[in-house]
Amino acid sequence: MDLPQSFVIAESSHRIHNPFDSRKLADLGEALHLTPGQTMLDLASGSGEMLCTWARDHGISGTGVDISTAFTGQAQARAAELGVSDRVAFVHGDAAGHVAPERVDIAACIGATWIGGDAAGTVALLEQSLKPNGLMLIGEPYWRLDPPDEATVRGCYMESKDDRFPLPGLIDHFDGLGYDVVEMVLADQDTWDRYAAAQWLNTRRWLDANPGHELAAEMRHRLDTSRTNHVRYQRDYLGWGVFALMKR
Ligand code: SAH
């Protein structure tokens, strides 16, 4: 049970595996008015940057669960580097169906809502770990611009235009699940580049260092297609944000 190696190669230098940069992640932490001692569960925590920096900056504590052994190891190393290992823990495991043993103040899933099937399923999953009046954080893509054709939909790695909402539709969707959207921080095209374009250099360096590797052809193809898809489609058509929800 692990994340395919191709993702680990492409995102080997990333601390944040989503279209936020460190400034936006910090902005989100500030926007939520976090207080010392608050507890957090982060499903699909990646390399743990959110929990580690918010533990350092706001004194929260928490647990991250992720299926990648490589990212979980990086998260543990980052916690040690930032001096917060006593307050955050990172567990390797499948986050699908994961419920915290004790309810938390903040329950998050940033950029991995497939763990609950979709956004609605992930809201239902996180709800089981959240205290009454707790904050739920969902990181999710939306259509920034209406995709005009099938090529745009596919270039954004979607099967169908209906796989995503436009921003007002996504807010309405959360509303329909019985939640108020109480805050949001959105990626922009430059922070998208920090996620997407950073993968090109990681991949190219890996290819140069690993000629003849069994994944070389796949990684070469990925470099070429992901670059085209990003500059032609994703960067313009796909928005991404983190939405803070409170149950009505
Ligand atoms: N939330 C992190 C990582 C987002 S990338 C961040 O914003 O930086 C998506 C993450 O989901 C990857 O770290 C991947 O390993 C993890 N993942 C994918 N499927 C998973 C599953 N079933 N259970 C736990 N983690 C999963």
Question: Do the strands 39-43 and 88-92 form a parallel or antiparallel pair, or are they unpaired?
Answer: unpaired
**pLDDT recorded at residue 118:** 96
Q: Give residue 44 CA to ligand 1 midpoint distance, Å.
A: 4
> Which of 9, 45, 106 should be mutated for ligand 1, with most atoms under 8 A from CB?
45
CATH number of the domain where residue 235 is located: 3.40.50.150
Domain that holds residue 90: 5-247
- State percent of the chain over pLDDT 70: 100
**pLDDT recorded at residue 154:** 97
Which residue's alpha carbon is at the smallest distance from atom 16 of ligand 1? 44
Q: Is the CB of 127 under 6 A from ligand 1?
A: no
**pLDDT recorded at residue 146:** 98
Asked whether residue 204 carries a pLDDT value surpassing 90, the answer given is yes
| Partner residues linked to 26 by β-bridges | none
How many structural domains does the chain have? Answer: 1
Q: What is the pLDDT of residues 52-73, one digit of tens each?
A: 999 999 999 999 999 999 999 9
Q: Give residue 107 CA to ligand 1 midpoint distance, Å.
A: 14
Q: What is the pLDDT of residues 72-127, one digit of tens each?
A: 999 999 999 999 999 999 999 999 999 999 999 999 999 999 999 999 999 999 99
CA 244 – CA 242 distance, rounded (Å): 7
**pLDDT recorded at residue 1:** 86
Q: Is the CB of 115 under 6 A from ligand 1?
A: yes
Q: What is the pLDDT of residues 169-198, one digit of tens each?
A: 999 999 999 999 999 999 999 999 999 999
Helix (H, G, I), strand (E, B) or coil at 105: strand
Q: Give residue 143 CA to ligand 1 midpoint distance, Å.
A: 21
**pLDDT recorded at residue 38:** 98
Q: Letter for the amino acid at 192? A: W
Q: Is the CB of 8 under 6 A from ligand 1?
A: no
Asked whether residue 205 carries a pLDDT value surpassing 90, the answer given is yes
- State percent of the chain over pLDDT 90: 100
| Strand arrangement, sheet containing 179-186 | 88-92, 61-66, 39-43, 104-110, 130-143, 238-247, 179-186
**pLDDT recorded at residue 180:** 98
The closest alpha carbon to 40, from 186, 247, 244, belongs to: 244
Residue-averaged pLDDT of the chain: 98
